[in-house]
Chains A and B, each alone.
Chain A
Amino acid sequence: MTDLTWGLWELLLNGVWLTVQLTVLSALLGAAVAFVVGAARTHRLRSVRFLSGAYMEIFRGTSALVLMFWIFFVLPVAFGWQLLPMWAAVLALGLSYGAYGSEIVRGSLAAVAPAQQEAGIALSFSPWQRLTKIVLPQAWPEMIPPANNLLIELLKGTALVSIMGVADITFGASLVRNATGQSAPVYTIVLVMYFVLAFVMTRGMRVLERHAKAGVGQAPPAKSFGVRRQVTVPRQADASRDVPTTGGAS
């Protein structure tokens, strides 16, 4: 670690700032896409459901990196649209991670008790009012833990933009590597930087989840250390003596 001068550290730290910006912007775009597509998949019109389902399958089916190559190299040649690298990166990440997010939104909307919808119909709420005033406020605490996992996947996905020359942490790492001629220190530092970012994000989402659950009168989630995530696998039917697991629509 001796060869890292202040100037090289500055490269890495500027990279951290750019990675944070990229993550936040793509997460905002991704969340918007996820809510629109996820809600559209519960729409009463078959055509809307089909279109949103097709969007989800296409963008989830292909690789985020290939999509990014497409936006960077094919869009300018084929359509004559040249986006700034930063915005092309945000677009690629937001569109593909939004498709993953739409499944989270759809799942947690579907997990709200049907009686809530029926009560809304009985009170002659419009479909929009039912969605925004009844279903979403109850569904969104359920969305936070899977959204946290997805957010970390997104953070990891931002490393791809370095290939396109966007100066994020990974890009800074390759510059530092070229400058010092040593790979081990800089890549170790960079991995630790990503881990710290993921850790901070998980802590933030925990706080958000506690607030969200308190807002709809549910108990706060069990405390656990670190960034451990939960994989939900359906349990066997005769596991009644086990402690019931929380969460998950499955």
Chain B
Amino acid sequence: MSWDWSAVSEFMPRLWEGVLLTLQALVLGSLIAFALGLVWALAQRSSLKIVSWPVTAVTEFIRNTPLLVQLFFLYFVLPEWNITLTALVAGVVGLGLHYSTYTAEVYRAGIDGVPVGQWEACTALSLPRSRTWSAVILPQAIRRVVPALGNYVIAMLKDSPMIAIIGALEMLGQARQFSAETFQPTEPITVIGIVFILIAYPASLLMRALERRLVH
């Protein structure tokens, strides 16, 4: 095994750029996933079959098909329909859309976990529907699902290298470019593998701690 420390130090500036882009994609993707997931969860509970049924079908479909193919779809098919996205935007939208179908399930479980008494109290106080949701049900539901949402952010982090395949220069993209130029794949790919663990492991410890505080 040959390990060249000078290649590591040469790779460092690009690694830093890659880390920043990964985190950027992660934050934007999470925002889309959190917002859209809530929309899906509420639409799935709708009493109108014409709303709940298609939303359920679409989210099931997105959740059970590979993110990579969805990214290809966003990146290659949309331009044929005159919507051209840059690699980063397509990647962020893809990550956000894919994970919104997971967060929808998390919100659903959280909403189902709110005791019936809370709903009955809202009825008894004749709160309007919007107020029932915004002031009573969602605050209780979301508090309990924060750790579960966080775990999906970590999962999204680990899927984020896929956006390198459509050309975004996040960590894996930078590592690929570096190894193509210098013919030294060992150092950059090993380093980014370790960086993923360095980000994901403390984050998952944090989620476990949050779970103890918020849920139990």
Q: What chain B residues lie within 8 Å of A198 (beta carbons)?
A: 64-65
Give Cα distance in the complex from A155 to B77, angstroms. 23
Q: With A183-B77, A227-B60, A235-B113 known to touch, is A66 a contact of B192 (CB < 8 Å)?
A: yes
B162 contacts the other chain (Cβ, under 8 Å)?
yes
Q: Is the CB of A62 within 8 A of B68?
A: no
With contacts A184-B80, A232-B109, A236-B144 known, is A61 near B115, CB below 8 A? no
Given contacts A74-B189, A159-B69, A187-B73, contact A233 B113 (CB under 8 A): yes
Contacts A73-B189, A183-B80, A229-B105; is A79 near B162 (CB within 8 Å)?
A: no
| Contact indicator B64/A234 (Cβ below 8 Å) | no
> What's the nearest-Cβ distance from chain A to residue B103, in Å?
10
Task: Check B72 for interface membership: any CB of A closer than 8 A.
Answer: yes
Q: At the interface, yes or no: A210 with Cβ under 8 Å from chain B? A: no
Q: Contacts A66-B172, A226-B60 known; A187 to B76 CB distance under 8 Å?
A: yes
Asked whether A195 and B68 contact (CB < 8 A) given A61-B197, A74-B190, the answer is no
* A191 partner residues in chain B, CB cutoff 8 A: 61, 65, 69-70, 73
A232 CB contacts on chain B under 8 angstroms = 109
Which of A124-132, A137-145, A237-245 binds B? Answer: A237-245
Q: A66-B196, A67-B193, A74-B189 are in contact. Are A231 and B65 (CB under 8 A)?
A: no
Q: How far is the CA of A227 from the CA of B56 in the complex (A)?
A: 11
In this complex, how many residues of chain B approach chain A with their Cβ under 8 Å: the count is: 59
Contacting pair B110 A159 (CB below 8 A): no
Chain B residues 102 to 141 lying within 8 A of chain A, measured CB to CB, are: 105-106, 108-110, 113-117, 140
Which residues in A have their C-beta under 8 angstroms from that of B43? none
Q: Contact between B80 and A62 (Cβ–Cβ < 8 Å)?
A: no
Chain B residues with CB under 8 Å of A55's CB are none
- Chain A hits for B69, CB < 8 A: 159, 170, 173, 187, 190-191, 194
Interface of chain B: mostly helix, strand, loop or mixed: helix
Are the CB atoms of B179 and A78 closer together than 8 Å?
no
Can you list 16 A-B pairs, Cβ within 8 angstroms, ordered by A? Answer: A62-B200, A63-B158, A63-B172, A65-B172, A77-B185, A160-B162, A163-B68, A177-B76, A191-B61, A198-B64, A227-B60, A228-B60, A233-B215, A234-B113, A235-B113, A236-B113
Query: Closest CB of chain B to A146's CB: distance in Å?
Result: 14
A57 on interface, CB distance cutoff 8 Å: yes
Tell me the dominant secondary structure on chain A's binding face. Answer: helix
Q: A residues 36-69 with Cβ under 8 Å of B?
A: 57-58, 60-67, 69
How many chain A residues have a CB neighbour from B under 8 Å?
Answer: 56
Contact A241:B216 (CB < 8 A) given known A160-B68, A183-B77, A191-B73: no
Residues of B within 8 A of A77 (CB): 2, 184-186
Nearest 3 A/B pairs, CB to CB: A159-B66, A61-B197, A198-B64
User: What 1/0 mask marks residues of chain B from 29 to 66 whose CB sits below 8 Å from any chain A CB?
Assistant: 00000000000000000000000000000001101111
Note all chain B residues with C-beta closer than 8 A to A73.
179, 185, 189
For B67, what are the chain A residues with a Cβ–Cβ distance below 8 Å?
A: 156, 159
How far is the CB of B138 from the nearest CB of chain A, in Å?
14
B64 pairs with A194, CB closer than 8 A: yes
